[in-house]
Amino acid sequence: MTETIRTNRPLLAAGLLAGLLVASAALAPLIADARPAREIPVENVDESLTDPGADGWSDVPAATVPLASAPSDVPNADDTTVREVAIEAARSDEQLFVRLRWADPSADRSTDSPRAFADMAAIQFPVNATTQPAIAMGSRDNLVNVWQWSATATTQELLAGGIGTTTVFEQPQVATEATRTTIGEDEGWNVVFTRDLDAAADNRTQLDATTDMNVAFAFWNGENTERAGQKAVSEWYYFPFGPDDGGAPFQTILWAVAGAAIALVIAVTALSVRRAGQEGES
């Protein structure tokens, strides 16, 4: 009996390997067609959602985006406090609405003294919707638009072609509304950015694009004296403005692959234990 068991072990291993290869081959087309994990859904709506507390926001799916300190040479660049943000996006026939919600127990609205800094948030888009510029304010050949909200009740629309090249649009097309809200166990900000899809101007991002739109986010906590390059930022994410290719969500595919691998490991372990027991009995 012992010899038979030893002879079957290679066959068992070969069978399990063949099963893994078959499963991988079946999942490969799904992985190839999968949407990237950094998608932020955009809901089509028939109403205006400029109000951060509008009832319509309850029907808009949210994406939780992690944040990290921006790479920068400014003092205390790695000392930032905003860890994540909930982002919801909706689009009507005429406007794009983006709501940002993040925890910040202190509402810092004043810049009246040299040590007073306001809370701020910003959204960054490539000017050319088909590109993905350098994450740190783009580059000379690949510009970015930045929408910036400040708790001082000011909103700016900016153009940048690299760090230190920011220019303010004289006629901004972005509007914001902000309220305080509850985020988990803390208080925080609830800010809506609104802009017309068609806001034609040189070096302004066109939001009526029919391709997926890259987007990134930045936050400053005034209480922590965060300003300029001392900020919490995201990686590039994207709004799916392009046609739906029907691919399965990337996270779902990863979980399917992980589940198949775990099942195979359990099967190998169980059979090995069983064979070891049979050998011991023989």
pLDDT band at 73 (very low <50, low <70, confident <90, very high): confident
Whether residue 233 contacts residue 135, with contact meaning beta carbons closer than 8 Å, is answered with yes
Better pLDDT: 268 or 3: 268
pLDDT band at 259 (very low <50, low <70, confident <90, very high): low
Residues 102 and 198 in one domain: yes
Mean pLDDT over 38-54 rounds to 96
Q: Is 102 exposed, middle or buried (0-12, 13-18, 19+ CB in 10 A)?
A: buried
Mean pLDDT for the chain overall: 82
H/E segment holding residue 201: none
Asked if residue 75 has pLDDT above 80, the reply is: yes
Bridge partner list, 35: 249
Residues 78 and 158 in one domain: yes
pLDDT band at 5 (very low <50, low <70, confident <90, very high): very low
Asked if residue 232 has pLDDT above 70, the reply is: yes
Q: What is d(CA 233, CA 70) in angstroms, rounded to the nearest whole number? A: 6
Residues 175 and 81 in one domain: yes
Span 206-222, pLDDT tens digits: 887 778 999 999 999 99
Residues 220 and 253 in one domain: no
CA 236 to chain centre: 7
Identify residue 262 by its one-letter amino acid code: I
Mean pLDDT over 237-251 rounds to 68
- Tokens for 37, please give them: 């994990």
Residues 70 and 207 in one domain: yes
Task: Say whether 94 sits in a helix, a strand or coil.
Answer: coil
Asked if residue 43 has pLDDT above 60, the reply is: yes
Range in 51-55, 56-60, 65-69, 277-281 with the lowest mean pLDDT: 277-281
Asked if residue 176 has pLDDT above 70, the reply is: yes
- CATH number of the domain at 65, please: 2.60.40.1190
pLDDT band at 282 (very low <50, low <70, confident <90, very high): low
CB atoms within 10 A of CB 127: 19
- Tokens for 49, please give them: 């959602």
Name the one residue in this structure whose structure tokens are 């040299």.
114
pLDDT at 273: 55
Q: What is d(CA 165, CA 61) in angstroms, rounded to the nearest whole number? A: 35
The residue among 249, 245, 187 whose CA lies nearest residue 221 is: 187
Residues 131 and 66 in one domain: yes
Asked if residue 271 has pLDDT above 80, the reply is: no
Asked if residue 202 has pLDDT above 80, the reply is: yes
pLDDT at 6: 46
Mean pLDDT over 145-153 rounds to 97
Residues 149 and 10 in one domain: no
Better pLDDT: 24 or 42: 42
Full residue range of the structural domain in which residue 27 is found: 2-33+247-281
* CB crowding 197-219: b at 16 or more within 10 Å, else e: eebeeeebbbbebeebbbbbbbb
H/E segment holding residue 148: strand 144-150
Bridge partner list, 91: 44, 96
Mean pLDDT over 20-49 rounds to 68
Identify residue 157 by its one-letter amino acid code: E
Residues 263 and 216 in one domain: no
Q: How many domains does the chain have?
A: 2
Beta-carbon contacts of 106 under 8 Å, excluding residues fewer than 6 positions away, are 119, 221, 222, 223
Beta-carbon contacts of 126 under 8 Å, excluding residues fewer than 6 positions away, are 132, 133, 138, 142, 143, 144, 145, 205, 213, 214
Mean pLDDT over 129-150 rounds to 93
In eight-state DSSP terms, residue 93 is S
Residues 70 and 205 in one domain: yes
Residues 139 and 104 in one domain: yes
Span 100-126, pLDDT tens digits: 999 999 999 988 888 889 999 999 999
Beta-carbon contacts of 107 under 8 Å, excluding residues fewer than 6 positions away, are 119, 151, 180, 187, 189
Q: What is d(CA 125, CA 45) in angstroms, rounded to the nearest whole number? A: 22
Residues 46 and 26 in one domain: no
Residues 204 and 69 in one domain: yes
**Predicted structure pTM score:** 0.75
Percent of the chain at pLDDT > 70 equals 73
